[in-house]
Amino acid sequence: MIVEAGHFALVLALCVAFVQGVLPIVGAARGNAAWMAVAPQAAIAQWLLVAVAFLALMHAYVTSDFSVLNVVLNSHTDKPLLYKISGVWGNHEGSMLLWVLILSLFGAAVALFGGNLPAAFRARVLSVHAWLAIGFYLFILLTSNPFERMLPPAENGQDLNPLLQDPGLAFHPPMLYLGYVGFSMAFSFAVAALIEGRVDASWARWVRPWTLLAWCCLTAGIALGSWWAYYELGWGGWWYWDPVENASFMPWLAGTALLHSATMVEKRDTLKGWTVFLAIVAFSLSLLGTFLVRSGVLTSVHAFATDPARGVFILLLLVFVIGGSLALFAWRGPTLRNTGLFQPISREGAMLLNNLAMMTGAAAVLLGTLYPLFLDAVGGAKVSVGPPFFNATFVPLMIPMIAAMAVGPLLAWKRGDLAAAMKRLWVAAAAAAMVALFIWQMQGDGAIFGALGIGLATWLLVGVLVEWGERIRLFRAPAGEAIGRLVRTPRASLGMTFAHAGLAIAIAGIAASTAWKVESIQTMKPGDTVDVAGYAYTFQGARRADGPNYTAVRGTFTVRKDDRPFATLEPEKRIYAVRSQPTTEAAIRTTFLGDLYAVIGDPEGTEGAFVTRIYFNPLVAWIWAGAMLMAAGGLLSLSDRRYRVGLAAGRRRDAPADASPTRA
Amino acid sequence: MKRKHKRLVFVAVGLVFLGAAAALILSAMRENIVFFMSPTDIVQKGSLPDRRFRIGGLVEQGSVEKAGGGLVRFRVTDLANAVPVTYKGILPDLFREGQGIVAQGRLVGGTFEADEVLAKHDENYMPPEVADALKKSGQWKETKPKAP
């Protein structure tokens, strides 16, 4: 009964979306206020209806209702509650339901907090948004109905893929979807602006918070996914340039570019057409990612089902959304006029360089991801494009951008002074050179790019700190004034400092863990000791250690450093009973300078020996720490008073904060 | 600088970036693309490129042999032909006899020395390359994934 109610609510949401897609936009064209006023109510109604549908499915999961096919295929009574809940989106149908839930949530947010938008513009935004929603409702109802019943009911379910039964993965999809779908808001704003033929600073002030929010969630989602791959797949790596990873990475690159170009529209009234284009591209890449992941053209843990009808449907949706919006852009884009002029050497110029690097980087990743599919489709050879390709193309494109990143914020708007900026960065240059040389001396042998990478990270980090010091006049003004300036620093610029510093830390982690990773594979009998990167691992044997829905073998390593006990590592090899599928649980001890990482494999011989794999991953935790710092910087920037005022008071930018009636 | 000159600078920088990207992509495409072959391809073609490539097929029943020290020998078959493979390291969790796998490495004197063995994610999963190899060798049986 509850399940049918959920299904029915979803159908109703589709009907509401049709109304929202037609009436307000026609009303806006005709100046009919009553028709425009339909939009906010409809958006909120949509959200409530989808929430009902989502809760209905969650109820079926939590109560293990095995008369629902989706629950049978992805759940089991023995599964812990957390994974019963995360199982809702741990499958194709449920994850699409999560997608529309977030989509409608964003629509409702515009309805609730967008009171200050011009009525006609809000009506158009919500209508465009409704059309996106219609596409996805139809997709779910026609090809992937999560509420399908199974008669007679099954006795028990087939369990969730054990790889997905993990806290990291429980939260990875919602974060990623918040990011993907967040770009739908920027998309709707861009298309509505094209229809109106007007883009101005207040438009950018609206688009930026949405893009920021989406970007933060996407950053966190990608980091969670890579962290999961690191500890769950047991290969000691954290990024594989797997097509599904690329699918989430491309929107991130475009979103980063959009974030910077929207700033220029807001502050300098320039690059409007480009910004609108980026908004379209960011969401298009999100859709493309969904297509690649969901259609089954790629095989991975994410491709839950390979039903050709779904692929065709998403492909049509893709063609319609991307083709339609780009056609609209080609038609209306040239009407957008830019007033702000700037020299190539200026903050605008630096941001444009960022945009250029991000987009060429995204293009390289896109090409590498689609090329094998394309070759296969035209009947060519079967090839795979792996990490070497992406490392050889993407990394060199990013190096000049990262080098310029330290300089950009020190340049003035409109016309910058490169020589003066470089003079202020001598500390950063000296620090980078010293660190790189020191590390190159230290490492003895090994690739030079490790030292260069750390040097680049140092350059960026010190450069960011120099800019921050300049901003608060550290050491130049009395301490009291510096503190006062620190307190008054707009959160948006503090957010930039955080995000750029986060990237520097992540780069250090990426360079170090790639260049100096130590790997050791061997067979160990109980009592055997192996030395990896200065740590002595002694294998103490393995024993059974069963969990609620799996059986496991748990090995124990005692680790000694300088002949003193340092840690105990207990990796497991689990076999999940229902699917009889084995998984590897790596044991990881994180230290400041690197991770100790141990994995146990198959037994060998009769003396209790096991194949073991031990890694030392230098600075690897810095990657996620850096990513978290980036996301935190984004959130800090999002909390900037100017945006809240911008949200609440629209163009009355100088209105005092306490006069603002609503907060976002 | 005049407006025209400025635009020229932007266009030039943009072209440099695009040119660099194109050059990088083309050279990486030439060197870093990995081709896929079935056991039949390997047996039939005499000469093979002296570079890494992938083979895929089923792990032959009864062929897995642990040689100690983490070294594993097995045979990959498309049910028409089979190729011996060696691999040193921990095999993926889902590696077992009869399972479809993809291995990456080099052919050295008739034996495929793998440095990577992929068998991932799901016990019903068959790498598409393996499915195609089986179809080509006429051994493909359409099996529906078990649905209730």
Q: Is the peptide bond before A152 cis (omega within 30 degrees of 0)?
A: yes
Q: Which tokens hold the place of B17?
A: 């970036």
Which pLDDT score, from 0 to 100, does residue A305 have?
47
Q: Which residues 56-75 of B are in CB contact (within 8 Å) with A? A: 66, 68-70
Closest among A14, A513, A487, A553 to A227, alpha carbons compared: A513
Q: From the list B3, B9, B35, which residue is nearest A383 (CB)? A: B35
Which chain B residue has the Cα nearest residue A362?
B21
Which pLDDT score, from 0 to 100, does residue B123 have?
47
A663 CB neighbour count, 10 Å cutoff: 11
Which pLDDT score, from 0 to 100, does residue A416 have?
80
CB A185 within 8 A of CB A106: yes
Largest separation between any pair of C-alpha atoms in chain B? 77
Q: Is B15 at the interface with chain A, CB within 8 A?
A: no
Q: Which amino acid, residue B108?
A: V
| Residue A369 in this model has a pLDDT that exceeds 90 | no
Angstroms from A551 CA to nearest CA on chain B? 14
Q: Which of A382, A528, A606 to mutate to test the interface with B (most CBs of B within 10 A)?
A: A382
Q: Where are the beta strands (DSSP E) in A132-188?
A: none
A639 vs A51, more confident: A51
Which pLDDT score, from 0 to 100, does residue A440 have?
83
Q: CA–CA separation, A113 vs A492, rounded Å?
A: 20
A31 CB neighbour count, 10 Å cutoff: 10
Q: CA–CA separation, A41 vs A44, rounded Å?
A: 5
Which pLDDT score, from 0 to 100, does residue A531 have?
92
Query: What number is the average pLDDT over the span A481-496?
Result: 82
| Residue A663 in this model has a pLDDT that exceeds 60 | no
Containing B82, the helix (H) or strand (E) segment is: strand B82-88
Q: CA–CA separation, A66 vs A72, rounded Å?
A: 5
Q: Specify the DSSP class assigned to residue A659.
A: G
Q: Under DSSP, is residue A128 helix (H, G, I), strand (E, B) or coil?
A: helix
Predicted confidence band at A653 (pLDDT cuts at 50, 70, 90)?
very low
Q: Is A581 at the interface with chain B, CB within 8 A?
A: yes
Domains and CATH numbers, chain A: 1-160 (1.20.120), 202-314+337-414 (no CATH), 518-615 (no CATH)
Strand partners, A587: A598
Query: What number is the average pLDDT over the span A132-154?
Result: 89
Which pLDDT score, from 0 to 100, does residue A619 have?
92
Q: Which residues 211-240 of A are in CB contact (within 8 Å) with B? A: 234
Report the length, in residues, of chain A. Answer: 664
pLDDT in tens, A525-550: 899 999 998 899 999 989 988 888 88
pTM score above 0.90: no
Residues 6+ apart with CB under 8 A from A248: A176, A179, A180, A218, A221, A222, A225, A289
Contact A343 B6 (CB under 8 A): yes
Residues 6+ apart with CB under 8 A from A104: A13, A43, A46, A47, A49, A50, A51, A133
A565 CB neighbour count, 10 Å cutoff: 9
For β-strands B111-118 and B82-88, DSSP reports them as parallel
Containing A541, the helix (H) or strand (E) segment is: strand A535-544
Q: CA–CA separation, A451 vs A447, rounded Å?
A: 8
Q: Under DSSP, is residue A482 helix (H, G, I), strand (E, B) or coil?
A: helix
Which pLDDT score, from 0 to 100, does residue B136 have?
66
Angstroms from A247 CA to nearest CA on chain B? 18
pLDDT in tens, A163-216: 778 887 788 888 988 998 899 999 999 999 999 888 888 888 888 888 999 999
Handedness of CA B124, B127, B130, B136 (dihedral sign): positive
Predicted confidence band at A445 (pLDDT cuts at 50, 70, 90)?
low
Q: Is A377 at the interface with chain B, CB within 8 A?
A: no
Closest among A414, A408, A402, A415 to A357, alpha carbons compared: A402
Query: What number is the average pLDDT over the span B87-92?
Result: 79
Query: In this prediction, what percent of chain A has a pLDDT beyond 70?
Result: 93
| Residue A364 in this model has a pLDDT that exceeds 60 | yes
Predicted confidence band at A308 (pLDDT cuts at 50, 70, 90)?
low
Residues 6+ apart with CB under 8 A from B82: B39, B57, B60, B63, B75, B76
Q: Does domain B35-136 have CATH number 2.70.150.10?
A: no
Alpha carbon separation from A190 to A326, A554, A645, B144 (Å, rounded): 11, 54, 22, 45
Q: B8: which chain A residues are within 8 Å (Cβ-Cβ)? A: none
Q: Which residues 130-159 of A are in CB contact (within 8 Å) with B? A: 150, 154, 158
Which chain A residue has the Cα nearest residue B144?
A306
Q: From the list B1, B70, B125, which residue is nearest A611 (CB)? A: B70
Q: Is B11 at the interface with chain A, CB within 8 A?
A: no
Query: What number is the average pLDDT over the span A65-85?
Result: 87
Containing A565, the helix (H) or strand (E) segment is: strand A564-569
Which chain B residue has the Cα nearest residue A150?
B148
B33 vs A567, more confident: A567
CB A36 within 8 A of CB A27: yes
Contact A161 B17 (CB under 8 A): no
Measured N-to-C along each axis, helices A201-232 and A641-649 cross at an angle, to the nearest 10 degrees, of 130
The CA-to-CA distance between both ends of chain A, in Å, stands at: 37
